[in-house]
A = this chain, B = another copy of it.
Amino acid sequence: MDHSTTALLTDRYELTMVRGALASGTAARRAVFEVFARHLPAGRRYGVVAGIGRFLDALEAYRFDDPALEFLISHGIVDEPTASWLSSYRFSGDIWGYGEGDLYFPGSPILVVEAGFADAVILETLALSTLNHDTAIASAASRMVHAAAGRPIIEMGSRRTHEMAGVAAARAAYLAGFTSTSNLEAGRTYGVPTAGTSAHAFTLLHDGERNAFRAQLDALGKETTLLVDTYDVARAVAVAVELAGPGLGAVRLDSGDLAETAHEVRAQLDGLGAEKTRIIVTGDLDEYAIAGLASAPVDGYGVGTSLVTGSGAPTAALVYKLVARAESEDGPLRPVAKRSVGKPSRGGRKWGVRHLGEDGKAIAEVVSTSEPDPGPHDRSLLTPLVRDGEIIGREPVAAARARHERAMAELPPRAFQLSRGDPAVPTDFR
């Protein structure tokens, strides 16, 4: 696969629409598209915006090079005038978005794209793919982080999802508060701290668990984490402390009744003088299992499958809709909306403001079709990402991580219930 351009990460109909609009003389009409969710995943009380930074990276690489154009022409997807238009395509409009890591609710205008129609329509799939995936993962991750109540969580789900989705998932989990990831490419590309020591295979490779532990301690030092459930946990813990001494970093449990086993292992470790040796638990954990282990003597969690699959909501249901357009390149914008049964859209370019009370807690998500006048405690949610085609909204993942923490502090307590419920903050359309 040619990775040098993201141009073909596009649905065919976007290019046939460009073709049609070029032919009908409407391609340059000024237009506003918005990304929003009609609803949160069933029962979720808030969502976490993620993927903004990745979308900007993908936008920068969005160029129709010769091999891409050749494919499109030879398959009759575009005609020569459209190919010519695509060959010089550079997004030249403006984009605003919610800050990455911020929260969203039904109707929040997460991304606002203003440009010529053809300029903007072509980005639908690229924007939705990056945002839908990362938002789904970050939204699940945030609940897990809250359930863990300050205990660290390692992301380790790469093996359960597409190999590139795993990298993005590690990034999304980190910005939502996970501590580290098993995924090395996420470490290199996004600076997410990486973690991991050994699997059962390492124990099985050696002639006995004792030899495996000794090999790992020799190579990685006594601060390492030893996996103790390959054969018999109690015997493994005894051998681990015997070899490493009471300064052993951690032991990992990956099977059985994790709460009960953690209590037993904690007592055993304490009895051996290894009071500071941590207990890490892994194995099909999700936010509910993490919450269920709150009273167990656990020092950290590893989460895989449920993280990369969004814990029951693997996509965020974000859509990209035309909400306003002019009758010319620079005429006044007029709201447009479809009337499809059950899927109506709200016309008009929108702004988002989080209306906060004097206590700093969110009262409403105010979505308005005219520029807002935020009160003293309110927070405007849209920030400029692209201006006249130039990307100006880049930031390190650490900034998104910090924003998420601040945004979470604004939520009312009901937002943190894991049970199904309505959005914790109602959307007020104006």
Chain B residues with CB below 8 A from A368, complex form? none
Distance in Å from the Cβ of A241 to the closest Cβ of chain B?
Answer: 19
* Closest-CB distance, A181 to chain B (whole angstroms): 8
Shortest distance from the beta carbon of A118 to any chain B beta carbon, whole Å: 9
Known: A20-B215, A71-B188, A220-B20. A205 touches B12 (CB 8 A): no
Asked if A16 meets B220 with Cβ closer than 8 Å, knowing A26-B205, A256-B340, A322-B201, the reply is yes
Q: Does A149 contact B (CB under 8 A)?
A: no
In the complex, the answer to whether B24 meets A161 with C-beta atoms within 8 Å is no
The residues of B that contact A230 with a CB separation of less than 8 Å are 338-340
Which stretch in A191-199, A269-277, A288-296, A379-387 binds the other chain?
Answer: A191-199
How far is it, in angstroms, between the C-alpha of A3 and the C-alpha of B1 when the chains are bound? 10
Contact B20 A219 (CB under 8 A): yes
Task: Return the contact of A184 from the options B15, B159, B182 (Cβ within 8 A).
Answer: B15
Known A24-B211, A206-B24: A255·B158 in contact at CB below 8 Å:
no
A6 in the interface (beta carbon within 8 A): yes
In the bound complex, residues from chain B placing their C-beta under 8 Å from that of A211 are: 24
Let me know if A19 is at the binding interface, CB within 8 A.
yes
Residue A259 interfacial (CB < 8 Å):
no
CA distance A164 to B61 in the complex (A): 14
Q: State whether B338 touches A204 (Cβ < 8 A).
A: yes
Interface string of A11-26 (1 = CB under 8 A from B): 1111111011111101
Interface residues of A in 295-319 (CB under 8 A from B): 305, 308-310, 314-315, 317
Asked if residues A201 and B132 are in contact (CB atoms below 8 Å), the reply is no
Q: Which of A21-68 contact B (CB under 8 A)?
A: 21-24, 26, 29, 31, 33, 58, 67-68
Residues in A238-255 with C-beta less than 8 Å from chain B: 254-255
Cα A158 to Cα B379 in complex, Å, equals: 33
Q: Which residues of B contact A322 (CB under 8 A)?
A: 200-201, 204-205
A202 to B23, CA, bound (A): 12
Residues of chain B lying within 8 A (CB to CB) of residue A182:
11-13, 125
Q: Is A174 an interface residue (CB 8 A)?
A: no
Instruction: Tell me which of A91-99, A104-112, A165-173, A356-364 binds B.
Output: A165-173
Chain B residues whose CB sits within 8 angstroms of the CB of A405 once the complex forms: none
> A231 an interface residue at 8 Å Cβ cutoff?
yes
Partner among B75, B129, B133, B189 whose Cβ is within 8 Å of the Cβ of A1: B189
Across the interface, which residues of B come within 8 angstroms of A308, CB to CB? Answer: 315
Asked if B185 contacts A23 (CB within 8 A), the reply is no
Contacts A196-B13, A201-B17: A206 and B26 contacting too (C-beta < 8 A)?
A: yes
Is there a chain B Cβ closer than 8 Å to A329's Cβ? Answer: no
Distance to closest chain B CB from A62 (angstroms) = 11
Closest partner residue, chain B, to A166 (CB atom): B129
Distance, CA A320 to CA B116, complexed state (A) = 50
Chain A residues proximal to chain B, CB less than 8 Å: 1-3, 6, 8-17, 19-24, 26, 29, 31, 33, 58, 67-68, 71-72, 75, 77, 79, 117, 121, 124-126, 128-130, 132-133, 156, 158-168, 182-185, 187-189, 194-207, 211, 214-216, 218-220, 229-232, 254-257, 283, 305, 308-310, 314-315, 317, 320-322, 325, 327, 336-343, 345
Task: List 18 extra interface pairs beyond A11-B158, A308-B315, CB under 8 A.
Answer: A3-B3, A8-B185, A9-B183, A11-B184, A12-B194, A13-B197, A16-B196, A23-B218, A71-B188, A121-B202, A128-B160, A129-B163, A159-B320, A161-B315, A164-B165, A201-B321, A204-B336, A283-B343
- Mind listing 18 A-B residue pairs with CB under 8 Å? A9-B185, A11-B158, A12-B183, A12-B195, A12-B196, A16-B198, A22-B219, A24-B211, A72-B184, A130-B162, A132-B159, A133-B161, A200-B322, A231-B338, A232-B339, A256-B340, A256-B341, A309-B315
